[in-house]
Structures are given as structure tokens and as C-alpha cells.
Amino acid sequence: MASLQLFPNRPVILYPSLDARRSFHARACLGINVQPADSKKLSLKSNEVMEMEGKVMVGTYARTPLVLSNGKGCKLYDPEGREYLDCTSGIAVNSLGHGDPDWVRAVTQQAGVLTHVSNVYYSIPQVELARRLVDSSFADRVFFSNSGTEANEAAIKFARKFQKVSHPNERDYPTEFISFSNSFHGRTMGALALTSKEHYRLPFEPVMPGVTFLEYGNIQEARDLILKGKIAAVFVEPIQGEGGIYSATKEFLQSLRSTCDEAGALLVFDEVQCGLGRTGYLWAHEAYGVFPDIMTLAKPLAGGLPIGAVLVSERVAAAIKHGDHGSTFAGGPLVCNAAVTVLDKISQPCFLASVSKKGQYFKELLMQKLGGNSHVKEVRGLGLIIGIELDVSASPLVDACRSSGLLILTAGKGNVVRLVPPLIISEKELELAAEILFKCLPVLDKNN
């Protein structure tokens, strides 16, 4: 059996090793007992993967030309065996690094027991995770989703429903939302409507109506609009990730809190990126001593498996009834068992203290090493979410660092280097990252 072609008129792209893989799969599907003769033969080289991606994937991602095939701790490897120090964590996801043994155990053990049951039934890991989230936060109840955008989508619905229930017999109850400059809340139609970057939003308009964008940090503007009485909820990231690593001030969050209380609006903290230990606090808002009515989480919660969570106070939960929202996959046993392990490890006081210490050390090191360069305007952030603002595009620096074995991200308008390493990174690895950044900085003079 050479190959199985379902669509004979479609041109076939032949990659020798892919052909071998297809042939193997085709025979396996037909129940012919085959063993791959040499498993190495079935793996693709980096250039083959990139070429194939360009032919078979929808072009939504302007990817970095790098294929990653395995990882351990804070190190990632491409198929050719080149090693990279990971200061991206899959965009602030892999807080325990790659292949954490406790996480692997939690996933493999649970996979052998029960992976998915839907929310028609109860399952133990889901309730265990929800209990831990409630015990460790302001929240009384939890709703699970599969991603950050879905968590925000649920928060939008919960805020609308809360206002509807709070204003019985009023046709004109508060349904609008406030979001801020440089905010990022996701890509689905509701969360997208709350996302400030027009580049993401405009091609898909009309998105959800009723969103006003205000300047992040502008207390008076927010106060004036909230007090008009039309706002269902204010969405804010205590520390903006995608937007450029901007931290809110305590006064700003305090004012949002008191004004929302005055007007009956809800305060939603989007901690999808900055939450769960990244700042050195379990929840970023703990650094401010200001608490929300709703908090959305996602990225690091299940250590790399897809999950989102909406944490709410009792009065918000009370407005939500059976059937108001739901998801087939969300909060499944596998993903929740992984998340229980992640949360248990990260919420240890000594773990959080180590993030604070390493974050402070890294920031000081970066200021010391890079601060003298004329392109570096500011080094900012809290814990291990750090931004280096440049007066030029950060892309050449990202490319040069990659060539030197360091993976970093951009943020903001492309002029901010975003450093979000696994929270388990060692001081030695942070020193190496700072050294590579320092050595690569001159590339900014050549390219700009």
C-alpha cells in the first residue's frame, strides 16, 4: 500500500519524510499491523515544517522562523538540536517550564483514568480546582472556559446578566462597557470589542457595541463615564501585557473600585497574562490591595493545556442561572488535574517569594547592563513580567537574540521587548539572558 489519496485532482506535495509518515498512517488506519522502521525518518526538518505550514495552514500567524520540537525546564530545542533559553513561556503560559515532572505525572495519571466527561456530569478534578481558586482568592465561585478570550466572553455575559437582574422592570439597564488604551482582552467578538488595538478590531466590525475606550490611568475620565449609569462593567488589566507592560497605579484601581461601587457597575480584572504568580503575588491585584467583582484567568493555569477561568463574587454568581452559559470541553478532568498541580506549586509562599526576588534581580541586572544604551528608554514591570521600552522597533533585537540562543517577545507597538520567562528560571539563566540581550543590542544601531 503506497498511499491513500482522497482527492485525486488535488496536486500532491511530496516531502519524502512526510510521504513515509502518510504511508505509515494509511496502513495503520487500514488495520495493517505496521511498525515505523525508524522513528527518526518520520520527523521533519525545520525547513520542511515551515514550508508545509505555508501551504496547509490559514495564514493568521506571522511566525518566527523557528520550529520547536522539545523542551526541558527553561530550554527549548529545534529539530536540528539547537538549544534556546526560553524567556517567552509560550506567551506567559509555561510557568513551570517545560516537562515539569509533577505536571507530567498529573497529566499522564489523569489521562489514564479519565480525560473528558462534559459538563453534563460532575468530575472530581474540576471541583478540586474550583475549591482551590475560591480558597486562594476574593472569589466565591468559578466558571471554567478553554482560553482567555472565552473567559472574558463569559465575564461580559455575567456582567450583562448581573445588571439585568439588578434592574428588574427597567428596559434601559446598564449594558455598556469601559476598556482602556493598550488593552488586550482576546479575539472573539465580545473580547475583541474590548481590545484597544484597531488593527485587530477594525477588519471584523461591527463587533459588540457599547464599548468606550478611555486612557489607561485616567481617573477622572473613567469616573465621569461610570457615574453616568450606563456601564455594566469596567474591564482592566492590573498590568497590561500585550499592550506594552504598563502597570496601573494604585490610585487608578482604587478609584475604579470606589466609582464602580457608587454607580453599581462591576469591576473586572483581566489577569489572563499577569495573574497566577507572574508578578510575585498570586494575583496581580494583591500588589494593589484592590479587589474586583470578577477576575479572568487563563494562560498559565494548566501549565500549557488550554484552560480559562472566571472567578466571581457571590452576588455576581447569584445572577447566573442554569443554561446561561456553558462549554463542552471546559473544566475537563485532564486539564483541571494539571491545573491543580500548577496552582498548588505556584501558590506556595516560597515559590512566590522566589519570583519576586528573581524579578527584582533581573530588572536590576537589565537596568545595569542595558540602561546605558541610547535606544533603551525604560525597563519596567513587576516580578517576571518585564518590558524594555526602546525608541525603535524591537524586531532586530528579537532576531539577533534568537540567533544567539535566546527567545524573547515584543509588546506594545513593537518597540517593547517583553520578557516573561518560566517562573522556575534560575538566576544563572537570567544572567545569561541579560548577557545575550546586552551583546545583541548593537544590532539596533545597524537596523534603524
Ligand X SMILES: Cc1ncc(COP(=O)(O)O)c(C=O)c1O
- From the list 43-51, 57-65, 142-150, 403-411, the region that binds ligand X by CB under 6 A is 142-150
- From the list 95-103, 249-257, 266-274, 353-361, the region that binds ligand X by CB under 6 A is 266-274
Q: Which is nearer to ligand X, 29 or 58 (CB)?
A: 58
- From the list 8-16, 73-81, 199-207, 236-244, the region that binds ligand X by CB under 6 A is 236-244
Of 303, 270, 273, 286, give the one whose Cα is nearest residue 137: 286
Q: Which is nearer to ligand X, 152 or 337 (CB)?
A: 152
Reading the block at residue 430, the C-alpha cell is 537570567
| 3-state class percentages of the chain: helix first, strand second, coil last, to nearest 5 | 40, 15, 45
Over its C-alpha atoms, the chain yields an Rg (Å, rounded) of 23
Which residues lie across from 266 on neighbouring strands?
A: 233
- From the list 27-35, 56-64, 237-245, 350-358, the region that binds ligand X by CB under 6 A is 237-245
Judged by CB under 6 A, the residue of 71, 90, 174, 186 near ligand X is 186
Which residues lie across from 303 on neighbouring strands?
A: 305
Q: Which of residues 279-338 bind ligand X (CB under 6 A)?
A: 298
Judged by CB under 6 A, the residue of 97, 148, 300, 422 near ligand X is 148
Reading the block at residue 414, the C-alpha cell is 513593537
Q: How far is the CB of 250 from ligand X (least distance, A)?
A: 19
Does residue number 345 form part of the binding site for ligand X (CB under 6 A)? no
Which long-range CB contacts under 8 A does 109-117 form with residues at least 24 apart? 109/337, 110/333, 110/334, 110/337, 110/338, 111/334, 113/333, 114/333, 114/334, 115/332, 115/333, 115/334, 116/329, 116/332, 116/333, 116/334, 117/332, 117/333
Q: Which is nearer to ligand X, 222 or 307 (CB)?
A: 307
Reading the block at residue 335, the C-alpha cell is 486539564
Could you tell me the CA-to-CA distances from 6 to 3, 10, 31, 250, 431 in Å, in that order? 10, 9, 18, 61, 53
- From the list 132-140, 184-192, 224-232, 351-359, the region that binds ligand X by CB under 6 A is 184-192
Of 420, 419, 415, 412, give the one whose Cα is nearest residue 199: 412
Q: Which is nearer to ligand X, 135 or 198 (CB)?
A: 198
Does residue number 270 form part of the binding site for ligand X (CB under 6 A)? yes
Judged by CB under 6 A, the residue of 98, 160, 185, 278 near ligand X is 185
Q: Which is nearer to ligand X, 241 or 412 (CB)?
A: 241
Within 10 A of 8 (CB to CB), how many other CB atoms are there? 6
Q: Which of residues 53-92 bind ligand X (CB under 6 A)?
A: 91
Q: How far is the CB of 48 from ligand X (least distance, A)?
A: 28
Q: Which is nearer to ligand X, 400 or 411 (CB)?
A: 411
Cα–Cα distance, 160 to 393 (Å, whole number)? 40
Does residue number 100 form part of the binding site for ligand X (CB under 6 A)? no
Report the half-sphere exposure of 316 (CA within 13 A, side-chain side).
28
Q: Which is nearer to ligand X, 176 or 270 (CB)?
A: 270
Q: How far is the CB of 211 from ligand X (least distance, A)?
A: 15
Size of the site for ligand X (CB under 6 A): 15
Judged by CB under 6 A, the residue of 180, 184, 246, 281 near ligand X is 184
Judged by CB under 6 A, the residue of 123, 126, 247, 273 near ligand X is 273
Contacts of 307 (CB under 8 A, 6+ apart): 144, 145, 146, 147, 298, 301, 330, 331, 335, 336, 339
Reading the block at residue 224, the C-alpha cell is 465621569
Give the helix ranges, DSSP H, for 215-308: 219-226, 250-263
Judged by CB under 6 A, the residue of 49, 226, 272, 335 near ligand X is 272
63 with 56: CB under 8 angstroms? Answer: no
Which residue number is nearest to ligand X in terms of Cβ?
Answer: 148
Q: Which is nearer to ligand X, 100 or 150 (CB)?
A: 150
Enumerate binding residues for ligand X (CB under 6 A).
91, 147-149, 152, 184-186, 237, 241-242, 270, 272-273, 298
